[in-house]
Amino acid sequence: MTLRGLDKETHLAPWSDPKGPTLTRAGQTDPFPENEQLRKPMMTPRALVTGASGNVGREVIRALLARGVEVRAATSSCVTRAPLYPEVETARLDLRDPATFAPAVQGCSALFLMRPPAIADTKRTLNPFIDAARAAGIGPVVFLSVAGAEKNKIVPHHAVEAHLVARGGEFTLLRPGFFAQNFGDAYRLDLSLDDRLFVPAGEGLVTFVDTRDLGEVAALALTEPERHRGAAYTLTGPDPVSFYEAARIFCEALSRPIRYEPASVLGYGIHLRRRGLPWGQIAVQTLLHVGLRFGQASVVEPALASLLGRKGRTLAEYARDHVALWARAR
């Protein structure tokens, strides 16, 4: 069934080749001049996902693919395909190298932007990249910020948020709390080598958020930009848990004893240094965990559940779904 020359099902003019635009032959008169618009090359919406191999980016890709969105995965390395998603095309994007900006965004209409942890100077990296993306006609930008970034000028995300607001256009800010995925990342070796959690968080409660849920929120914001335009969402998990409770959760999931040893600031610094972390990262990680003692990440925010229409994933679900990550390494 066609409607004025437009195939209802495919939204392609029946005379056009789906692989490329074939316009009316020269000299032919189109009986429907309003079809001019329809004959223009169809722009396939394609989202560029930065940090594609990271905790959040890979979940953004998963959620976008599930919604049928075409994705381009950005990487600063020289691989040609994102190893997690061999079907997804990749583009080289090094946020420290402006020469990579324009080719990476070309042909994309939406952007998921994250700040790699090693990049502190966002004014010379992420902000010019945003400008390049806007200049290339990128529509909605979803930025992975951090809880409290609006009030905290020290975190690098603050300047990116301010730049997006000043630059205008469609954007959505995601401000998550502590990731559940830190247990499979920053805390992973402590769990698999020592069967312990070792952070200077005292008895502080944390509402760990699962990056799988963040991926789904990002996909929502990218695919329904008019609903989320200019919004800033603080995103947490559904339950506040202490690291004592987290140890109990992992003990149950891994079927072996796991303990929490509250670290002192000095002890934690020495521990991270022995693991080879640079001083800058040690300072940031220590500061963040000491903040937990004062309840900085203890509040459950309603945004995630309200956006997804369901409760966020719990830490116990995260642990159960990823047990292989903490197989004993001895």
Ligand X SMILES: NC(=O)c1ccc[n+]([C@@H]2O[C@H](COP(=O)([O-])OP(=O)(O)OC[C@H]3O[C@@H](n4cnc5c(N)ncnc54)[C@H](OP(=O)(O)O)[C@@H]3O)[C@@H](O)[C@H]2O)c1
Instruction: Name which position in 54, 215, 262, 269 contacts ligand X (CB under 6 A).
Output: 54
Cβ neighbours of residue 205 closer than 8 Å, sequence gap 6 or more:
240, 241, 242, 292, 295, 297, 298
318 near ligand X (CB under 6 A): no
- Using CB under 6 A as the binding rule, whether residue 94 contacts ligand X is answered as yes
Q: Which residues contact 320 (CB under 8 A, 6 or more apart)?
A: 253
Where are the extended beta strands (E) located within the chain? 2-3, 6-7, 46-49, 70-75, 89-92, 110-114, 141-144, 171-176, 196-199, 232-235, 259-262
* 115 binding ligand X? (CB under 6 A): yes
Q: By CB under 6 A, which span of 110-118, 193-201, 269-277, 309-317 interacts with ligand X?
A: 110-118
Size of the site for ligand X (CB under 6 A): 26
Collapse the DSSP code of 129 into the 3-class scheme (helix H, G, I; strand E, B; otherwise coil) and give the result: helix
Binding mask 140-159 for ligand X (x = CB under 6 A): ----x-x-------------
Q: Is 57:84 a contact under the CB 8 Å cutoff?
A: no
The 3-class SS string of 248-316 reads HHHHHHHCCCCEEEECCHHHHHHHHHHCCCCHHHHHHHHHHHHHHHCCCCCCCCCHHHHHHCCCCCCHH
Q: What gap in Å lies between CA 318 and CA 59, rounded to an integer?
A: 14
CB of 104 to ligand X, least distance (A): 9
**N- to C-terminal Cα separation, the chain:** 65
Task: Return the number of the residue (257 or 278) whose C-beta is nearest ligand X.
Answer: 278
Least distance in Å: CB of 106 to ligand X?
A: 16
Q: How far is the CB of 275 from ligand X (least distance, A)?
A: 15
Binding ligand X (rule: CB under 6 A), the pick from 39, 49, 55, 164 is 55
Residue 39 or residue 175: which is nearer to ligand X going by CB? 175
81 interacts with ligand X by CB under 6 A? no
Angle of helix 211-223 relative to helix 57-66, nearest 10 degrees, comes to 50
Q: 245 to 284, contacts with ligand X by CB under 6 A?
A: none
233 makes contact with ligand X (CB under 6 A): no
Question: How many other C-beta atoms can be found within 10 angstroms of the C-beta atom of residue 128?
Answer: 15
Residue 95 in the binding site for ligand X (CB under 6 A): yes
Closest CA to 258 of 241, 245, 239: 245
Q: Which is nearer to ligand X, 24 or 76 (CB)?
A: 76
Euclidean distance between CA atoms 238 and 208, whole angstroms: 8
51 binds ligand X (CB under 6 A): yes
Instruction: Report, in Å, the least distance between residue 17 CB and ligand X.
Output: 35
On whether the CB atoms of residues 115 and 103 are closer than 8 A, the answer is no
Q: If binding is defined by CB under 6 A, does position 96 make contact with ligand X?
A: yes
**Closer CB to ligand X, residue 93 or residue 258?**
93
What is the pattern of x (binds ligand X, CB under 6 A) and - over residues 60-79?
Answer: ---------------xxx--
120, 280 Cβ separation under 8 angstroms:
yes
Stretch of 27-35, 61-69, 111-119, 254-262 contacting ligand X, by CB under 6 A: 111-119
Q: Give min distance, CB of 105 to ligand X, in A.
A: 13
Residue number, nearest CB to ligand X: 54
Binding site for ligand X (CB under 6 A): 50-57, 75-77, 93-96, 114-118, 144, 146, 176, 178-179, 182
